[in-house]
Amino acid sequence: MEVVPETRIDPGSLPDQTLIAELRRTAVHLAETAAAHVRKRRTELRDTAGVLSPDAVRAKSTPTDPVTVVDTEAEELIRALLSELRPGERVFGEEGGGSIRWEADSQIVWVVDPIDGTVNFLYDVPAYSVSVAAMREGRSLAGAVADVVGDRVYSAGLGAGATRVGPDGTTLALRCTDVDSVEMALLATGFGYGAARRARQGELIAQVLPRVRDIRRIGSAALDLCMVAAGMVDAHYEHGLNTWDWAAGALIAAEAGARVSLPPAGTLAKTGELVVAAAPGIAGELTELLERLGVSAPIPED
């Protein structure tokens, strides 16, 4: 498991900052544009009670794992924009897939989650996002996460820090909390779709809960990671995320000072590897707690 320390890589080893700034601007533009499309289409597809048309939804991996026509449209929009803005660069998306040789490929790969938090989108729970990251050799160089309902955009560039731009255009530099005790930490987490994994996650969270301040289940891993960066929670952990779930958010958290542990890019969700992002003051203590309770072990799918 890769561990990204609080103090980032030696600046002398970083890619060209001009390139990173350009990739970051592109990621922000793509995430903002797709988020605007998602907002518009949800209004168009809902009935008077706010419920999406049944024709707009289908199941993916399990009956509880939905995808909507808007997910597909948003990814297609991002792919079309990238073909104009960054012709020749490949896209790896949740809905459209893509074949990538992660560690060996020196080309830019755009990693896209068109709606992270699709269940929230279905139910009109105001916590879903568009996530876009530019990666090279399995490493995130730049990324953006657009909070669709909140109309906020989180972004980061490798070695360039992390920011959040609000609906009024105000830019805030992001920094993790200064919490120094797991006992006083607010954690965020998420659950898989398979019954066996969910059951095991439930067993583990019952052991974690008495040892922390509290736990939140937001429903969008990308937003959870951004919330770590913004100091809205102190840490996030979750089993079985795909690369598109964390490619942008983990970079944003790390650039805000979080200690981040990730599986290699391209690792499939079915293996159940753990992703962790924690404020630096509790990272070591939290790692020890998760290892002691068995949370650090992978939870494979059924």
Determine the pLDDT at residue 281. Answer: 98
Q: How far apart are CA 66 and CA 16, in angstroms?
A: 39
Determine the pLDDT at residue 67. Answer: 77
The half-sphere exposure of 280 on its side-chain side, counting CA atoms within 13 A, is 13
pTM for the complete prediction?
A: 0.91
Determine the pLDDT at residue 11. Answer: 46
Other residues' Cβ atoms within 10 Å of the Cβ of residue 249: 35
The CATH code for residues 182-293 is 3.40.190.80
Other residues' Cβ atoms within 10 Å of the Cβ of residue 210: 7
- The amino acid sitting at 215 is I
Cβ-proximal residues to 117 (8 Å cutoff; 6+ apart), any chain: 125, 127, 128, 129, 218, 219, 220, 222, 223
Cβ-proximal residues to 94 (8 Å cutoff; 6+ apart), any chain: 71, 75, 112, 113, 114, 242, 244
- The amino acid sitting at 162 is A
Q: 162 near 229, Cβ under 8 Å? A: yes
User: Would you call 151 exposed, middle or buried from its count of C-beta atoms within 10 A (0-12, 13-18, 19+)?
Assistant: middle
Residues in the chain: 302
Residue for token digits 């499309």? 37
Rg (CA), the chain: 18
Q: What is the mean pLDDT of each run of 10 residues along the chain (302 residues)?
A: 42 76 98 96 73 66 72 94 95 76 79 95 94 96 98 97 97 98 98 92 97 97 98 98 97 98 93 97 98 97 79
Determine the pLDDT at residue 99. Answer: 64
Cβ-proximal residues to 276 (8 Å cutoff; 6+ apart), any chain: 235, 236, 237, 259, 260, 261, 286, 287, 290
Determine the pLDDT at residue 45. Answer: 78
Q: How far apart are CA 279 and CA 34, in angstroms?
A: 30
- The amino acid sitting at 214 is D
- Top-level class of domain 2-173: alpha beta
Q: Would you state the torsion angle of the CA atoms of residues 63, 93, 34, 50, taken in this order, to the nearest 10 degrees?
A: 0
Q: 128 near 114, Cβ under 8 Å? A: no
Question: Residue 281: phi, psi to the nearest 5?
Answer: -70, -15
Q: How far apart are CA 8 and CA 107, in angstroms?
A: 22
Q: So where are the chain's domains?
A: 2-173, 182-293
**Fold agreement between 2-173 and 182-293:** no
Read off the tokens for 237. 């952990």
Element (H, E) at 199: helix 195-208
